[in-house]
Structure 1
Amino acid sequence: MARLGTVLALAATLLLPGALVAPQASAMPAGSPAEVNGQLRVCGVKLCNKHGKPIQLRGMSTHGIQWYSQCVKTQSLDALANDWKADVLRISIYIQEGGYETNPRKFTDMVHGYIEEATKRGMYALVDWHQLTPGDPNHNTSRAKTFFKEIAARHKNKTNIIYDIANEPNGVSWSRVKSYAEQVIPVIRAEDPDSLVLVGTHGWSTFGLSDGKNPQEVVNNKVNASNVMYTFHFYAASHGSEYLNTLSRVADQVPVFVTEFGTQEASGDGGNDFTQAQRYLDLLSAKKISWVNWNFSDDERSGAVFKPGACSGTSFTGTSKLKPAGVWIRDRIRTADNFPTG
């Protein structure tokens, strides 16, 4: 990932530090996505709300908070919740690459703060343990247990927390990923027993497809835990019909949550393929599969929604500060949610 925002990120301050110590749930705005849907749970292969009705969440992922924390602030989050009408904020905490392992206290506190900010705006807070290199999540098992134990203990009374315990396992067998998940999930559940947990699949969260593996490996050897969903990632300009068809097939067999996708190439850069991206979104809509787009920053790459330098300002509503991918994805998040109640 780019280091363009590193200097700015080091200078950025945490969001409302006083919010970092509050252990109890904040009152969410009436009618907001997280207030309407409440505690999420898996029902069959669908994500269901507190009324037991299948729903689809849509939202945005931060870039790595060690580089682009300046893009996650009061004005930008207000725009995401109220102008974009997003349902979920994915909080991307890298483990290596200058992230968590360099200063666990600092980055854990940042995540606490972002959870509070999402909560008071009525969005779900999807905590993304963004392990990437090395690709075997077992490299970070001890760190993950420490991190998630604290996050779950502090926020267990909230109903809008989603735990994503392994971003993109790669170069590793599914059995190794499954073993990792079955060590980390009990740590979360000991603190937050009714939580929704997401597990990254091998092959950079493609059910093994990008590593040349058979996606049925996951289907035939599920994680031994309840209330779990499996993640799928795609980039429309790189991942064509084979990936789309795989997603369609596995989503009928296990619960799937698309925790990351882009309209461009897998690098997060290059030209946008909006036609192929729309094919994916049509499928996700038809099957009520929740999705999060990468990424809510002003990185120079085409996949970052804001134009370079936008995050130094305070105006984030409308489309004037957005790249083409940002205009496109904002429009698709803004379409009316359909959240059935009791």
Structure 2
Amino acid sequence: MMMKKFILVICGVVLSLLQGCSRGSEVQREEKSFVELNGQLSVQGNRMVNQQGEATALHGVSFGWHNWWPRFYNKGTVRWLVTDWNTAVVRAAIGVEPDGAFIDNPEQAYNLLYRVIDAAIADGIYVIVDWHSHNILTEEAKDFFATVASRYKDYPNIIYEIFNEPEYDSWDDVKAYSEEIIKTIRGIDPKNIILVGSPHWSQDIHLAADDPITGYDNIMYTVHFYSATHKQYLRDRVEYALNKGIPVFVSECAATEASGTGSFDMEEWALWVQFMDKHRLSYVMWSIADKDELCSMVKDTTSPASHWTENDLKTWGIKVRELLRSKEGE
């Protein structure tokens, strides 16, 4: 009888140890970063896929213009967005033309950009290097992306957005510009994804779909929308592009009017989210800034640069945090 009890005790201990090991391996898997789990991203057909060839989508936030909201361009803000908001990608919006932006002060632009990139790499998320311009500045953009690509070409975390929002340029002009920048980047970084804009604030994706860039791999096309302004007609354009095999990445969006103010349209926003999730589209929401507008997420200049409570956030910031946290485990 004593021998049977002894054997049962031993079996119980062994079972507990095995269960503990199993739980340990689960914890280990859960603690892997988003980049560790997905690795080098690439494009297959009209989909973005991870290193296992599985369709994947990134969800995250864009910083505001670096020249106006530099206080958020730091590792503390990135860490909080990862740990508390479940952000898988951040977008560094490097302003180009305004006073104090890249043309005026390139050293500050690079320093702030590198802070965000280094923090994203350290925390295992993806980072979009956004040339936040509204005009074609080919030589300046080539120098910028050559510098960044030379520094970070070996990191799978990097995504290049080579033209934020062309305003009135034709697709022919935007395409020619994009081919020049892509050629520059691909001479240094052969693999990381490159995002291409389209005319009229990256909404004329149907034009790009009819005449896409050829000869390069891992190219995607951006769409920007603000749900109180851009409704079904723009979703129809996106669907048209997808049906023609064009890979789409929503690199800027919000639930406000395109001006960033006015009013929210949460019903239309819900339709957009449903549409993007249905098609496994990545989306990045605008913006981590304390500007006095609806689509800025931080309440005001008295709010800290991270570790926000709900009292530190505007309505839009609270909504975005809730949406990103709901994506945990996807």
Tell me which residue corresponds to 1:294: 286
Gaps of 5+ in 1: 1-28, 209-214
Deviation at 1:163, TM superposition (A): 0.2
Task: Give the aligned partner of residue 39 of structure 1.
Answer: 40
Query: What is the rounded CA distance, in whole Å, between the counterparts of 1:147 and 1:222 in structure 2?
Result: 24
* Cα displacement (A) at 1:54: 0.5
TM-score, normalisation: structure 2: 0.87
Aligned length: 298
Report if the CA contact (8 A) 1:57-1:291 is conserved: yes
Asked which structure has the greater CA Rg, the reply is 2
Question: Distance between the aligned counterparts of 1:280 and 1:252, measured in 2?
Answer: 18
Q: In structure 2, what is the equivalent of residue 50 of structure 1?
A: 51
Alpha-carbon separation, structure 1, partners of 2:260 and 2:91: 16
Matches of 1:163 and 1:173 in 2, distance apart? Answer: 21
Mapped contact 2:75–2:115 kept (Cα < 8 A): no
Q: Matched residue of 2:187: which SS?
A: helix
Q: Aligned with 2:109: secondary structure? A: helix
Question: Where do residues 1-342 of structure 1 align in structure 2 (5 Å cutoff)?
Answer: 30-98=31-99, 99-132=101-134, 134=135, 137=136, 140-207=137-204, 215=206, 217-224=207-214, 225-253=216-244, 254-311=246-303, 313=304, 315-337=306-328
Cα distance in structure 2, aligned partners of 1:171 and 1:315: 37
Q: Which amino acid aligns with 1:127?
A: V
Q: Greater relative contact order (Cα 8 A, min sep 6): structure 1 or 2? A: 1
- Identical columns (%): 31
Moved over 6 A (4+): none
Contact 2:182 2:194 in 1 (8 A): yes
Give the distance between the partners of 2:210 and 2:327, measured in 1 at CA. 36
> What is the RMSD of the two structures over their aligned residues, measured on CA atoms?
1.6
Measured against aligned partners, the alpha-carbon deviations of 1:258-284 in whole angstroms (never above 9, x if no partner) come to: 000011010111211111111001110
Point out where structure 2 has 5 or more consecutive residues left out of the alignment: 1-29
Contact 1:83 1:317 in 2 (8 A): no
Residues 165 and 197, structure 1, Cα contact 8 Å, conserved in 2: yes
Give the whole-Å Cα distance in 2 for the aligned partners of 1:144 and 1:106: 16
Rounded to whole Å, the distance in 1 between the matches of 2:121 and 2:309 is 23
Deviation per residue, 1:63-118 (Å, 9 max, x gap): 00111011233432222000000000100001101210002222123212210011
Deviation at 1:310, TM superposition (A): 4.2
Please say if residues 41 and 227 of structure 1, whose CA atoms lie closer than 8 Å, have aligned partners that are also in contact.
yes
2:229–2:256: 8 Å Cα contact kept in structure 1?
A: yes
